[in-house]
Amino acid sequence: MVVLAAAVCTKSGKALVSRQFVDISRVRIEGLLAAFPKLMGSGRQGHASAIQHTFIETETVRYVYQPLEGLYMLLLTNKSSNILEDLDTLHLLAKLVPEYCGRLEEEQVADRAFELIFAFDEVIAVGYKEKVTLQQIKTFLEMDSQEEKIHEMLEKNKEREAKEEAARRRQQIEKMRQENMKSGMGGGMGMGGGMGSGGRWQGGGGSSSFESPQIPADPFVVKETRAPPKPTSSRGGMVLGQKEPTSKFLQAMKKEEGADLIREETSVSANTPGAPPVAREKVNTVQWLTHTVLQRSIEVVEVVSATVENDGGLQSPLDVRGDLTLTIDDPAAARVLIHVAPAAEHKSFTFKAHPNINRDRWTKERVVAPKGDKAFPAGTALNVLKWRWQTSDEGSLPLTVSCWPTPGGDGTTAVTLEYELQRQDFVLSNVRISIPIIGSTPNLGEIAGDYDFDVKNHILHWKLDFIDESNPTGSAEFSMGAVDASSLFPITISYTSNNTFCPIEIEQVVSPDEEPIRYALSKSLQTDQYQLVQ
């Protein structure tokens, strides 16, 4: 058969959407559509009455149509086409119009014109019908990209971590300001550092020490022998002439940030001999703030896909794909080695390292390191490691769902949905179970969690904030008009989790000299094609 055009028009012949599949002029199409209402009124419908047939033939073309409330779904074909195939194509197109427009009104059809044209193109190509179903068309038009999902998730994680880091730094700066003010007040009150705690502290990884001056037993001696405070000069703000307030300030920093920060302060002070105390204080503060910024982040992301049969078993194997992504913001911090803790479960996973990764070190030592003297690229997220795992064991699924439709004697169908958390070691978040609804709006009964009904797409969404060992099972009940049980499938399941199938743990991140390096780590799991079929 050859379909010339597919159109949605009003009863008066006004074209709302028209898609041509052969080389035909707009004037010709508008003329054919304008003639359609007149042919309807003339009774030239096939060879019988207007009630029995849904096609009209003229000398050159055939109109195949289906009423859609106040509109018509119309196909223009040549007279040699197969009428049975034409009707099959027409019925599929007629399902697409309410699917993408919702209400069958002129405004809705005009607003959704491009969606309808894209859908028509999936059904008909160069005038010939493609072998597609309604569900396949919806999948094609969604244009889902797994890489795009992973990228969006990584961007959200970066944004969240940046906000947390900004809030932490604000708190640290505020604490430093308050400590600085307290130290300055102590130095100007005449008590000096008499109440400070002298002593010695050794930093990790190097030898650093802080010693306070010897304090006389009698605090009044300090008051009598100390020189009077100098007036404030334009170069310094507060004059912190005593070492004790500075030592107290640094010890407060040590308690908050640990040995690495104090070691950084020591190196700055040692490299600035003869510098005034105030100048050293400013330099130390800047170095401390710079050091606390995490320049490296590691993200472990897994995506799970499965097609589960409602009667039990897997129609296709459970497929898990994972990525370990390294992001380095500062080129100066790009030379790192990632030590992955070995695990016996790794043998069942197929790992693949990036071409620029030293594969010998990964295979033998489980160390992610660049080849030779190279460094990791900065300013971009690099997938340094991938892995994959497949199994046909249904018991490996974190979550299973079953659907129980029961026809009633009053022309209705009662449906019960159930879920079960099979993996107690998983905590699932943002769980959504979506079931297609054909016909009337469902009447909800008892339901665990929440729900919403997408009127436009005719989908009931069962939503749960989380599923863990505290609520390992749950159900949702609703009723609707009598339907075929097959119309309730496929049921789509989606969720996220901080647990992953692959037990990959980062043992440590070190420099080429095996010095420990601070880093940020995040793990996540999400679903791709996770469906329940009949």
Alpha helices in 75-145 (DSSP H): 83-101, 106-111, 113-123, 134-142
Token pair 């044209």 is at which residue?
117
3-state secondary structure of 298: strand
Query: What gap in Å lies between CA 201 and CA 329, rounded to an integer?
Result: 33
- Domains in the chain (CATH in brackets) are 3-44+52-142 (3.30.450.60), 293-533 (2.60.40.1170)
Phi, psi of 436 (to 5 degrees): -70, 140
164 in the Ramachandran plot: left (φ > 0), alpha (ψ -120 to 50) or beta?
alpha
Q: Average pLDDT over the chain, rounded to whole? A: 77
Q: What is the pLDDT of residues 75-86, one digit of tens each?
A: 888 888 888 888
With 50 as the cut, is the pLDDT of residue 455 above it? Answer: yes
Q: What is the pLDDT of residues 216-251, one digit of tens each?
A: 443 333 333 344 444 444 444 444 444 444 445 445
3-state secondary structure of 133: coil
With 80 as the cut, is the pLDDT of residue 440 above it? Answer: no
Q: What percent of the chain has pLDDT over 70?
A: 76
Q: Mean pLDDT across the stretch 287-315?
A: 76
Lowest mean pLDDT among 56-60, 268-272, 383-387, 415-419: 268-272
Q: What is the DSSP string of 199-226?
A: ---PPTTS-----PPPPPSSHHHHHHHS
